[in-house]
């Protein structure tokens, strides 16, 4: 049923940063192939890794690490309060509480399977369940009171069994309640040749047309959409139970659907073209690194993202080409990127003594980073990006 269109080779677990002790041990790698299902338009990776291997007590990614995300969650909390006035809200994949902390503690419940992250909100007094979201948890949490709003950002794309998610949502959500989902947009991913949206954790990259089809199976429907710049282009879907007639389906939903169909997200040929562009992108990026290395330019990386794992391993960029990465996440500092084994150092403001060129691992935070590093830019420092086309900026 799934038709393969892209092979990104063998890849290590994207968020499994290596300690110096692990550096010389054998790293387990997994085939990263991407496919398209012509029946429901779903795009997904073809070989999945058990969730316990990825989302556990050592999960390194914290949503609060970026100012952009902190601001966005704050803004969104105002918006949701104003539009839906929820008395009780539940977040699936609450991470370190970047979103939850904008609400009254009595009015929110977090669900976060990674214990190290759940502990952060538990310690701050937020009711948080350190579990995977599923039917039995939904029954337990909302036995007495159902919730008015369920929010989940960058979580649905990580869960193989989406049926379980929506079944559980139907149990916990009031009949008049709203489900708000936020995930990278497939249209933006394809347009920007952002093939690094594919890695072990991102089982799906959703389009509106695919999500719509899935939701139909659970008597749920999208009634509004926000197109966001977040994470290199995301969609925020507002979803209701079909039986709820309080919300009309906005023109934005219809516009997104026709935009995606016009672009060809419902056709396999679109993905084959994308695949060709990905290989071209690899060639171009390698040419840039090769020419700078020949000139003995100092190159470092910025933002040791999960996405970087796909790029570095697919393009075979190793330590020696990029000397090290800067990152602000304490858990990543002192470790090495999986596969490429490039060291991660504690972030310091960029200056020309350290680097001539900086590869943007966190390209999705380009604006925030460029603002922070204006001094480096003023002094002639340059950045390298692979999206939408590999270039020096
Ligand atoms: P960022 C993770 O992906 C994993 P990643 C996950 N699978 C997912 O879906 C998304 O998040 C949402 C650093 N940084 O957000 C912090 C700086 O050092 O692009 C982070 O390590 N300085 C759950 O890892 C990384 O970059 C800065 O100024 O691809 C950003 O990671 C900024 C802005 C970030 O997600």
Q: Per-residue pLDDT tens for 325-344? A: 999 999 999 999 999 999 99
**Residue 225: pLDDT over 80:** yes
Q: Is the CB of 364 under 6 A from ligand 1?
A: yes
CA torsion angle for 157, 223, 189, 365 (degrees, to 10)?
-80
Q: What one-character DSSP code corresponds to residue 18?
A: B
pLDDT at 318 over 80: no
Identify the pLDDT of residue 1: 86
For 232, other C-beta atoms within 10 Å of its C-beta total: 22
Q: Is the distance from CB of 168 to CB of 159 less than 8 angstroms?
A: no
CA nearest neighbour of 41 among 187, 180, 179: 187
Q: Which residues pair with 6 in a beta bridge?
A: 34
- What's the whole-number mean pLDDT along residues 346-373? 97
Nearest Cα neighbor of 384 from 287, 241, 246, 248 is: 287
Atom of ligand 1 nearest to the CA of 199: 7
| Spatial separation of the C-alpha atoms in residues 207 and 240, rounded to whole Å | 18
56 has a pLDDT exceeding 80: yes
**Closest among 204, 212, 166 to 184, alpha carbons compared:** 204
Tokens found for residue 374: 């204006």
What Å distances lie between residue 306 and 21, 47, 178, CA to CA?
21, 17, 30
Residue 246 CA to chain centroid, in angstroms?
A: 31
pLDDT tens-place string over residues 95-121: 999 999 999 999 999 999 999 999 999
* Token digits of residue 89: 């809200």
Is 100 near ligand 1, meaning CB less than 6 Å away? Answer: no
Rg (CA), the chain: 21
Instruction: Determine the average pLDDT of the residues in 248-265.
Output: 98
Ligand 1 and 196: CB distance under 6 A: no
Closest among 324, 391, 311, 390 to 355, alpha carbons compared: 324
- b/e map of 357-379 (b: 16 or more CB within 10 Å)? bbbbbbbbbbeebeeebeebeee
Closest ligand 1 atom to 63 CA = 15
303 lines ligand 1 (CB under 6 A): yes
Average pLDDT over residues 338-353: 97
What is the model's pLDDT at position 346?
98
In short, whether 285's Cβ falls inside 6 Å of ligand 1 is no
In DSSP terms, 4 is beta-bridged to 35
Across the chain, mean pLDDT equals: 97
Q: Is 154 in the pocket of ligand 1 (CB under 6 A)?
A: yes
The Cα–Cα gap between 158 and 153 comes to: 10
Atom of ligand 1 nearest to the CA of 372: 28
Average pLDDT (49-66) is 93
The mean pLDDT of 130-139, rounded to a whole number, is 97
- Find the helix or strand (DSSP H, E) in which 344 lies: strand 343-346
Give distance in angstroms: CA of 223 to centre of ligand 1: 29
Percent of the chain past pLDDT 90, that is, above it, reads 98
pLDDT tens for each residue of 263-288: 999 999 999 999 999 999 999 999 99
SS3 content of the chain, % helix, strand, coil (to 5): 40, 25, 40
> pTM higher than 0.75 for the full model?
yes
* Structure confidence at residue 26 (pLDDT): 94
Does residue 193 carry a pLDDT above 80? yes
Q: Which two tokens stand for residue 166?
A: 């929506």
Closest alpha carbon to 340 in 9, 25, 18: 18
Is 319's pLDDT higher than 80?
A: no
Q: What is the pLDDT of residue 14?
A: 97
Q: How many Å lie between the centroid of ligand 1 and the Cα of residue 231?
A: 9
- Can you tell me the mean pLDDT for 116-134? 97
Of all residues in the chain, what percent carry a pLDDT higher than 70? Answer: 100
The answer to whether the beta carbons of residues 332 and 60 sit under 8 Å apart is yes
């Amino acid at each position: 049923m799934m038709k393969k269109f892209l092979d990104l080779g063998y890849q290590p677990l994207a968020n499994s940063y290596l300690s110096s002790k692990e550096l010389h041990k054998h790293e387990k790698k997994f085939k990263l192939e991407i496919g398209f299902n012509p029946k429901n338009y779903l795009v997904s990776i073809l070989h999945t890794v058990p969730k316990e291997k990825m989302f556990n007590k050592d999960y390194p990614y914290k949503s609060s690490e970026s100012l952009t995300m902190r601001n966005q969650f704050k803004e969104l909390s105002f918006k949701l309060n104003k539009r839906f006035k929820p008395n009780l809200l539940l977040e699936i994949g609450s991470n370190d509480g970047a979103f939850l902390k904008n609400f009254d503690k009595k009015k929110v419940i977090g669900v976060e399977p990674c214990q190290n992250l759940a502990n952060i909100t538990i310690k701050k007094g937020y009711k948080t369940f350190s579990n995977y979201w599923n039917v039995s948890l939904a029954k337990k949490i909302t036995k007495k009171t159902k919730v008015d709003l369920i929010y989940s950002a960058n979580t649905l794309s990580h869960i193989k069994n989406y049926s379980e998610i929506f079944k559980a949502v139907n149990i916990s959500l009031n009949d008049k309640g709203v489900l708000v989902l936020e995930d990278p947009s497939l249209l933006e991913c394809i347009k920007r040749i952002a093939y690094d949206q594919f890695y072990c954790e991102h089982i799906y990259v959703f389009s509106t047309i695919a999500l719509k089809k899935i939701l139909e199976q659970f008597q749920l429907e999208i009634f509004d959409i926000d197109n966001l710049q977040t994470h290199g282009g995301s969609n925020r879907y507002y979803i209701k139970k079909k039986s709820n007639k309080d919300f009309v389906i906005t023109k934005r939903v219809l516009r997104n659907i026709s935009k995606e169909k016009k672009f060809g997200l419902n056709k396999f040929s679109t993905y084959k073209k994308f695949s060709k562009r990905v290989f071209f992108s690899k060639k171009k990026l390698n040419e840039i690194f090769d020419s700078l290395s020949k000139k003995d330019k100092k190159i470092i990386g910025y933002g040791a993202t999960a996405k970087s794992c796909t790029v570095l391993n697919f393009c075979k960029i190793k330590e020696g080409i990029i000397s090290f990465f800067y990152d602000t996440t304490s858990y990543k500092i002192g470790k090495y990127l999986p596969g490429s084994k490039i060291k991660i150092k504690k972030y310091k403001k960029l200056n020309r003594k350290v680097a001539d060129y900086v590869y943007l691992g966190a390209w999705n935070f380009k604006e925030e980073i460029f603002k922070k590093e204006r001094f480096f830019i003023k002094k002639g420092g340059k950045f390298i990006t692979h999206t939408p086309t590999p270039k020096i900026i």
